[in-house]
Amino acid sequence: MSEEINTTAEVVEADALPRCREVHTGKAHSSPAENAPASMKAKPFENKSEAEWAYERLILYIQNFEKALDNEHEVAMGFVGGDAGVLKIEGMGYFDPDVITFYGSDASGSKTQLVQHVSQLSVILRALPKPEAQAEPERIGFQLAAELEKA
């Protein structure tokens, strides 16, 4: 039995956001859970649908991935197990109880949307060069996390 004493807030937060552990070779790498917005921690994961819970954690992974990018690259998503190519992530959402959707554009600039059941969720995050005409890279992960705070 641990002799560590936790406040009620710490117990609730630990219950709402299960542990996340990652080990990487080379330079230090932050955990996606370190950046979890307070609004995400406020509702225990047992009270979230599979879609809501997957959506929130994907936001953290995207945001964490973007932290490691330089100003010449943006996050995109590769499709696993198919020839669909890559989607520049421009939006993301969920539809309870179990569907996640990604909005964006493909390499040719065509509007693209992926609708996926959480049981089939498998995402590859990729760094793609930002458009030359664009001064700053778009950081969708940070925009999505800000929306969680508003909710």
CB atoms within 10 A of CB 29: 13
pLDDT at 83: 74
Q: What pTM was computed for the model?
A: 0.74
**In total, how many domains does the chain have?**
1
C-alpha distance from residue 92 to each of 10, 42, 52, 88, 99 (Å): 30, 21, 11, 11, 11
Does 108 map to a domain?
yes
Read off φ and ψ for residue 109, nearest 5 degrees.
Answer: 95, 0
pLDDT at 98: 92
pLDDT at 78: 84
pLDDT at 41: 78
pLDDT at 151: 67
Domain holding 138, by residue range, is 48-150
Closest CA to 91 of 103, 76, 100: 103
Instruction: Compute mean pLDDT per 10 residues along the chain, 151 residues long, and list them.
Output: 65 58 67 77 84 90 89 87 81 92 88 90 88 87 84 67
CB atoms within 10 A of CB 69: 16
Does 71 map to a domain?
yes
Q: What dihedral do alpha carbons 104, 42, 16, 24 form, nearest 10°? A: 50
Does 55 map to a domain?
yes
pLDDT at 36: 79
- Cα separation of 2 and 132, whole Å? 55
Does 43 map to a domain?
no
